[in-house]
Chains A and B, each alone.
Chain A
């Protein structure tokens, strides 16, 4: 394998300058911490430190906030409706017809909404500051198999293409009288009518793509050349291991009940 030791061009901010793997570790670490932590205060503190500060550093605060809120909104609304309006146990603070609102329901909904916002923020921060191609190059640089990075990169690229195809199929089926707004039975039939042609055309393409790849030496042994070497450093390596260690300690603290929140 050969590597061209040409570092990629520096990012617009210090956050963008980090190795994409470091940003991924921070994002995954935030997500795991959000799973382990309970209590609104702890979760909001985590959001501030691991999402909002890096987002401000990357000059993406507004975008992270808006996109994160938009992504979290449907789930947050469901959380509030199910846990506040349909909570059955606890101290009743208000009634809406047959529905009773309890203190415990409000507390649970607040905690889950805080967790949902933290997770959405962490994922969006990574997404808006990292191109898939950058991550793939970084993963290859760090020794991940070229076959795996091919799958990841193509999986991401395939989403908009498949969505476009699904829109075309939906429009064509609607023109033939498909009802996607009717009762459950009609919607269920709609799923099959849209999914089947979308899936079949995509699956049929794989045959040609396989032949094209094999003729271009995809199965050749050895590792491909990494053209863009990410900005890694010993500090970042220590930081990545630090995040991993912190998560192990957090897990142990949660398991032993030593965590204050």
Chain B
């Protein structure tokens, strides 16, 4: 095992150990308690995992190169722009457009993709802190800072996915590759939907997911919110076929995974501190679930499991478009830029060698 893998494994082991120990020691008997404990465990386990990673690297090399490399001058200049993007777009979408998404992590995912997971996590964390304490009205939001841990998780995941090459353009894929990509995308989405459904059913002790209410309007609203997930997936599959870009499948997968993780961390914060609301268009979905018979925690989790994956898929897609519009040489200069560029064709490599 290489030194890099050893420290990643060490960081993950500490994270998992603290998360599992915390959940085992503190979780109550019902689902709502377990959900609260999950968020608390993440608040402790995520920073502990990062510290363990840094400690192992320091012990191995007496330096922290893999961390400091993510914070070069170019990244430090991009981070303020990214933080401002998070705040301005997040405020605009929440206050003006009133749709049940947030779009407050475009900057976080952009920095994570270009510079690395820790740079992304730092951008997310600082965005939420500045949003609460230093952003000028009307952009100030006193309620952003409790969600900083969610932004950290989003940054870490996005940086990791970008490092795995999930945001690399893969245009001109063969029909067979596209078919496999589409099938895997749909499969991943179905899997995530099943997980969300199971979470919902556990929360609601076996009751069906379908919204129940005397008022037809709320039933329609509940279904419309759930159809957003399916609509986004279909849109990306269409893009996959039309653009013949296999990256759409990876974007879908990255967005859904990030969204589901963010939902599980954010839902107890929104429910416990703010009565399940965030002042955005997502509040209508919470109201629909409440009227449908769910208690507060269940309604917020239901809303988060619908809004967050859609939001993150859209955000990853926007970031992918931004990266596509940036000059190749600009992307290549960032610490993680090489993982965002298309792989050279076999013919190009042969020409270069010749």
A21, chain B: closest CB distance, angstroms: 12
Please determine whether B87 and A159 come into contact, CB atoms closer than 8 angstroms. Answer: yes
B279 touches A35 (CB 8 A): no
For B64-101 the 0/1 string (1 means CB < 8 A from A) is 00000001011011111101110111001101111100
Chain B residues 216 to 260 lying within 8 A of chain A, measured CB to CB, are: none
- Fill in one digit per residue for B295-307: 1 if any A CB lies within 8 Å of its CB, else 0: 1100000000000
Given contacts A71-B137, A79-B274, contact A152 B126 (CB under 8 A): yes
- Tell whether, in the assembled complex, residue A195 and residue B318 are in contact, meaning their CB atoms are under 8 Å apart: yes
Of A79, A123, A150, which is within 8 A of B132 by CB?
A123
Q: Which residue of A lies closest to B286 (CB)?
A: A82
Do A166 and B88 touch across chains, with their CB atoms under 8 A apart?
Answer: yes
In the complex, which residues 269-309 of chain B have their Cβ closer than 8 Å to any Cβ of chain A? 273-279, 283, 286-287, 290-291, 293-296
Q: How many residues of B contact A (CB 8 A)?
A: 66
A207 with B73, Cβ < 8 A, contacts A119-B143, A162-B81, A162-B84 known: no
Q: Interface digits, A206-224 against B, CB 8 Å rule (1 contact, 0 not)? A: 1101100110001100000
What chain B residues lie within 8 Å of A207 (beta carbons)? 74, 330
- Looking at the assembled complex, report how far the CB atom of B25 sits from the nearest CB atom of chain A, in whole angstroms: 11
Quick check: which of B154-162, B170-178, B200-208, B319-327 contacts chain A, the rest being far away? B319-327
- The distance from the CB of A125 to the nearest CB of chain B, in whole angstroms, is 10
Q: Is the CB of A120 within 8 A of B142?
A: yes
Q: Do B84 and A159 touch across chains, with their CB atoms under 8 A apart? A: yes
For A187, the chain B residues whose CB sits under 8 A away are 97-99
Which residues in window 155-203 of A have CB below 8 A to B? 155-163, 166, 180, 184, 187-188, 190-192, 194-196, 198-200, 202-203
Query: Do B133 and A82 touch (CB < 8 A)?
Result: no
| Complex contact B141–A210 (CB within 8 A) | no
Cβ–Cβ contact A156 & B135, under 8 A:
yes
A155 touches B79 (CB 8 A): yes
**Do A67 and B137 have beta carbons less than 8 Å apart?**
yes
Residue A239 is within 8 A (CB to CB) of chain B in the complex? no
Cβ–Cβ contact B130 & A156, under 8 A: yes
**0/1 interface trace, chain A 103-128, chain B, CB 8 Å (1 if under):** 00000110010011001101110110
A72 within 8 A of B: yes
Cβ–Cβ contact A218 & B73, under 8 A? yes
CA of A206 to CA of B214, assembled, Å: 54
Asked if B140 and A155 sit within 8 Å, CB to CB, the answer is no
**C-alpha gap A24/B99 in the complex (Å):** 33
**Interface pair A151/B126, CB less than 8 Å apart:** yes
The residue of chain A having its C-beta at the shortest distance from the C-beta of B277 within the complex is A78
Question: Complex: how many Å from CA A121 to CA B126?
Answer: 20
**Residues of A within 8 Å of B, CB-based: how many?**
78
Chain A residues with Cβ below 8 Å from B295 are: 88-89
CB–CB B318/A79 < 8 A: no
- Closest CB in chain A relative to B82 CB, distance in Å: 8
- For B78, B88, B145, B322, the residue with the greatest tally of chain A CB atoms inside 10 Å of its CB is B88
Pick the contact of B78: A68, A126, A198, A203 (CB < 8 A).
Answer: A203
Interface membership of chain B positions 324-345, coded 1 if the CB is closer than 8 angstroms to chain A and 0 otherwise: 0110001000000000000000
Most central of A159, A184, A188, A218 by chain B CB within 10 Å: A159
The answer, yes or no, to whether B215 is at the interface (CB within 8 Å) is yes
Distance of A153 Cα from B130 Cα, bound (Å): 10
Q: A86-B290, A127-B133 are in contact. Are A71 and B84 (CB under 8 A)?
A: no
Q: Which residues of B contact A190 (CB under 8 A)?
A: 97
The CA of A154 and the CA of B78, in the complex, are separated in Å by 10
Chain B residues near A62 (CB-CB < 8 A): none
- Residue B136 interfacial (CB < 8 Å): yes
Report the separation of the CA atoms of residues A132 and B83 in the bound assembly, to the nearest whole angstrom: 15
A237, CB-defined interface residue at 8 Å: no
The smallest C-beta distance from B211 to any residue of chain A, in angstroms, reads: 12
Contact of A210 with B77 in the complex, beta carbons under 8 Å: yes
- Residues of B contacting A213 with CB < 8 Å? 73, 77
A155 touching B322, Cβ below 8 Å: no
Q: Are B142 and A122 in contact (CB under 8 A)?
A: yes
Which residues of chain B are within 8 angstroms of A154 by Cβ–Cβ distance?
A: 77, 80
What distance in Å separates the Cβ of A244 from its nearest Cβ neighbour in chain B? 17
Select which of A31, A81, A202 is within 8 A of B85 by beta carbon. A202
List 26 A–B pairs whose Cβ atoms lie within 8 Å, in order of A's numbering: A71-B141, A75-B278, A78-B277, A81-B287, A82-B275, A82-B276, A86-B291, A89-B295, A98-B214, A120-B143, A127-B133, A127-B136, A135-B134, A155-B83, A159-B87, A162-B81, A162-B85, A191-B99, A198-B89, A199-B85, A199-B322, A203-B78, A203-B110, A206-B78, A209-B77, A210-B73
**Other A-B pairs, 20, CB within 8 Å; known A207-B74, A210-B74:** A27-B133, A35-B273, A82-B287, A88-B291, A108-B275, A112-B274, A123-B133, A153-B80, A155-B83, A162-B88, A166-B89, A184-B99, A191-B103, A191-B314, A199-B318, A204-B326, A207-B330, A210-B73, A210-B77, A213-B73
Q: Which 3 A-B pairs have the closest CB atoms?
A: A154-B80, A158-B84, A86-B290
B residues near A (Cβ < 8 Å) are 71, 73-74, 76-81, 83-85, 87-89, 92-93, 95-99, 103, 106, 110, 126-127, 130, 132-137, 139-143, 145-146, 214-215, 273-279, 283, 286-287, 290-291, 293-296, 314, 318, 321-322, 325-326, 330
